[in-house]
Amino acid sequence: MKDMVAAWEAATGNKVALTFYNGSDLPAKIISAMTTGEVPDICYVDNGDFLLLPQAAWNDKLVDVSDVVETQKPEYNQTALTAARLYNNVAHKRSDYGVPLKQQALHYEVWRPMIERAGYKDADIPAEWNAYFKFFEDVHKKLRAKGERVYGLGYSLSTRDSDSTYLFNQFLVAYGGGGIVTPDGKLHADDPQVRKAAIDALTALTTPYKEGYVPPGAINWGDPDNNNAFYAKQIVMTPNATISIAVAQMEKTEQYYHEIITMPQPNGPDGKPVTSLVSVKLAFVPKGAPNVDAAKDFLKYLIQPKNLDTYLAQARGRWLPVMPSIVKGNPFWTDPKDPHRPVAVKQELDGPTMPWFQAFNPAYADVNAQQIWGTAEASVMQNRMTPDKAVDAAFQQIKAAFAKYPEPAE
């Protein structure tokens, strides 16, 4: 990013004050800036699409950046374009209030040496949903029989940070609950199919925890903790919303190329490919920014495919492009010698995808912020509530969140 800014400065004669913050501190700083009106020209935060942008757009706090997106609109995939079109409740319309930079989805990281010590090889890992997760429970039992203190499943099941939020909602989609919020912004909490999907997802995630296949501390994990447990070889498999677990080990050649496996979603419970819930990362311009024209000019420069490609490749492919042409034009993304990037690319750019529900209605960002689904998991795991009752309680909270955001009327 520093190089990109320097190149734009040299090309335009403009000067940029570029500031980096700890990722966990940034949302609060941005909210404070928008509250006081002393805003920067451009903001970006990794989890902005989860918690920040949908409400800011709803409340007319963001500059319409349709003219920026338009410069590369044919290049973007449809999921990225959908995620950028947020609803403004003052203007009573949708428009582009974010500029897509990159995307992520849930993948599965596996220790190959562990499954080999349990007597298996890669080809033995099932491709069918229920059998896939049961496989790692079986590995757990076989390694425990050998005296190894490991856990088969590294599920994030806490009421903090985004990993647990990502995991539950991806399971919800896999079990047929992807219509919980439709593109028109309507909540379908009373749909029997959505309720069943939520119960099935909650049961599938909490039962292995209660049976001891997930580390007890997973109920307190923050976003880095499943990564750390994986590196410490305490868990055989963990879901992760980027390929960061593998990428961080790139200098450790043996681990990166031979020991860590990156896997896509298994086929769903219905036997069909699972739609990946894709988080599209958006840069934005707050209203009140003193240099809107320059901000837009820089963003137009940044999203030129060659520049975005450089930016994402320098991050080692932790996040994936939102432009298919980038993948087609740079063999870095599909290098058959790399065991991780091509897997993620195939899943996120070739497979079925959908944006997060808060792109349809900002109320779902409140659902994420309140950790409603994480609380439901805790109710089942710690308070012995049945999954159906925990889901019904969660839906009551979700309905209350949606009551604050009337259905968009365009």
pLDDT at 83: 97
Same domain, 91 and 119: no
Report yes or no on 408 lying in a domain: no
Same domain, 145 and 97: no
3-state secondary structure the chain: CHHHHHHHHHHHCCCCCCCCCCCCCHHHHHHHHHHHCCCCCCECCCCHHHHCHHHHHHCCCECCCHHHHHCCHHHCCHHHHHHHEEEECCCCEEEECCEEEEEECCEEEEEHHHHHHCCCCHHHCCCEHHHHHHHHHHHHHHHHHCCCCCEEECCCCCCCCCHHHHHHHHHHHHHHHCCCECCCCCECCCCHHHHHHHHHHHHHHHHHHHCCCCCHHHHHCCCCHHHHHHHCCCEEEEEECCCHHHHCCCCCHHHHHHHEEEECCCECCCCCCCCEEEEEEEEECECCCCCHHHHHHHHHHHCCHHHHHHHHHHCCCCCECCCHHHHHHCHHHCCCCCCCHHHHHHHHHHCCEEECHHHCCCHHHHHHHCCHHHHHHHHHHCCCCCHHHHHHHHHHHHHHHHHCCCCCCC
Report yes or no on 353 lying in a domain: no
Same domain, 249 and 156: yes
Q: What is the pTM of this model?
A: 0.96
pLDDT at 410: 60
pLDDT at 409: 63
Structural domain including 176 reads 107-275+358-403
Count of domains observed in the chain: 2
Report yes or no on 351 lying in a domain: no
Same domain, 9 and 148: no
Same domain, 205 and 313: no
Same domain, 215 and 115: yes
Report yes or no on 349 lying in a domain: no
Q: Tens of pLDDT along 303-348? A: 999 999 999 999 999 999 999 999 999 999 999 999 999 999 999 9
Report yes or no on 350 lying in a domain: no
Same domain, 99 and 127: no
pLDDT at 191: 98
Q: Tens of pLDDT along 9-24? A: 999 999 999 999 988 8
Same domain, 99 and 116: no
Domain end call among 319, 344, 369: 344
Per-residue pLDDT of the chain (410 residues; tens, 9 = 90+): 999 999 999 999 999 999 999 888 888 899 999 999 999 999 998 887 888 999 999 999 999 999 999 999 999 999 999 999 999 999 999 999 999 999 999 999 999 999 999 999 999 999 999 999 999 999 999 999 999 999 999 999 999 888 999 999 999 999 999 999 999 999 999 999 999 999 999 999 999 999 999 999 999 998 899 999 999 999 999 999 999 999 999 999 999 999 999 999 999 999 999 999 999 999 999 999 999 999 999 999 999 999 999 999 999 999 999 999 999 999 999 999 999 999 999 999 999 999 999 999 999 999 999 999 999 999 999 999 999 999 999 999 999 999 999 876 66
Same domain, 112 and 210: yes
Same domain, 201 and 243: yes
**CATH code of the domain covering residue 83:** 3.40.190.10
Same domain, 232 and 284: no
Same domain, 195 and 249: yes
pLDDT at 406: 84
